[in-house]
Amino acid sequence: MALRAGIVGLPNVGKSTLFNAVSSSAKAQASNYRFCTIDPNVGLVDVPDTRLDQLSEIVKPNKVVPTQIEIVDIAGLVKGASRGEGLGNKFLGNIREVDAIIHVVRCFEDENVLREEGEINPVSDKEIIDIELQFKDLDSVDKKIQKTQKQARVGGDAQAKFELDVLERVKAWLEQGKNVRMMGLTKEEMVAIDDLFLLTVKPTMYVANVDEASMHTGNKYSDALKKVADEEGAELVVLNNSIEAQIAEMEDPDDKALFFEEYKMAEPGLNRLIRSAYKLLNLATYFTAGVQEVRAWTIGKGWKAPQAASVIHTDFEKGFIKAEVIAFDDRIKYGTEAACREAGRLRIEGKEYIVQDGDVMHFRFNV
C-alpha cells in the first residue's frame, strides 16, 4: 500500500528543501525564485521503524526491506491559482493525485529569501492555500449540483436527491471558508462526492519551517500555526528544513552522530514527519520475517487478514486460507518462530482476523 503525499505551500517556504531531505530517489532543485518546481518531483523515503531492526537482529536475514512513502514535490501555489494565476490548474491537478497533503509554512525571518506576501504571517499564508483549494472545490461541486438537480427532478430519483442534499451542504460549508475534511461527513455522504476528488477532503498536516534557533522550541510563528492546526485537529511538525537536508546528505554514520550531538538531536526530525503522516492516514505496519528477508508492509488500520495479504500479492487475497500470526513482542521475547510455537504464542487466524500493528505474519494460500 503506497502512501503518496504531496508537499505544498507558497513559493520560497522550503518545500523543495524538505523534498531533498526526505527523498531517497530524487533531488529537487531548491532555488530562491517562484516556480522553481514546475513539474512535480517524485521520490521515495524509507519509513523508519526500530521494530524492523529488532527483527533483523534475531532473524539475521539476507536483506531488510522497509516500507516506503512516495513524496511528491508540487509547484508553489500563489493567490489566484484557482483562476489560473501562476501555474494554476496544473498545480491543483497535481494535488488531486495524492493521498495526503504536507503543507509547508514559512515560520522564519530571512530578508535574503524572497517573499511577496508582506510580513511573515503563517496563519494568513495557510489561509491563502486554503482559499484557493476551496475555490477549486466549489467549482467542482457547482458543476455536479447542476447535473444532479436534473436527475433529482426527473422521476424523483431518491439517490439523486440524497446526493443533491449532500452537495448543497458541502457548497454552503465551502462558502464559509471551511475545508470539507472538517465537516464530519458519514461514509454514505462521502460516496456522494468521491468522484469529485475534492482537494479540501484530503488529510492535511503542517510543517512549520523555522530558523535554526527555533528547531527544538518553535517560535511565535510556529506557535500561531499550531493553534490553528489544533483547532482543525491536524498534525503539526516543527522542522528546520535546511538542517534536515544536511542530515540527508550525510553518508558517514560517525559524521551524522557528531551532527546530532552538536544540534542536540536524537534522530532526524523527518522521522517525526513520517510518523505523523502514518498517523494522519490511520496506517499500520505488519512484518514478514524469514532468512531471505525481513520486510515491513503498510496497511490501513482495521484491515482483515486477506486484505493485508493482498499488499504482498493479489493472489494471496484471492486464495487466502489462513494466517500464522505472532505478536511482535512475543517474536522478540522468544527469539525464534519455533520457540513461539512451543510457547503457544503462534496463532492460526482466519479471514475475519483484524491485523494488529506489529504483527509478524505468514500467509497460507492456494490459487
Residue 217 labeled ligand binder: no
Name the residue among 283, 74, 100 with its Cα closest to residue 205: 100
Residue 14 labeled ligand binder: yes
E strand or H helix at 221: helix 220-232
Spatial neighbors of 318 by CB under 8 A, at least 6 apart, are 365, 367
What is 74-132 written as a DSSP string? PPPP-TTGGGT-TTTHHHHHHHHT-SEEEEEEEE---TTS--SSSS--HHHHHHHHHHH
Q: What backbone torsions phi and psi does residue 15 show, to the nearest 5 degrees?
A: -65, -50
Residue 200 labeled ligand binder: no
Q: Assign 290 to helix, strand or coil.
A: coil
Residue 17 labeled ligand binder: yes
Task: Give CA separation, 321 vs 348, 362, 363, 364, 366, in Å.
Answer: 10, 11, 8, 5, 7
Q: Which residues are annotated as a binding site for ATP?
A: 12-17
Binding residues: 12-17
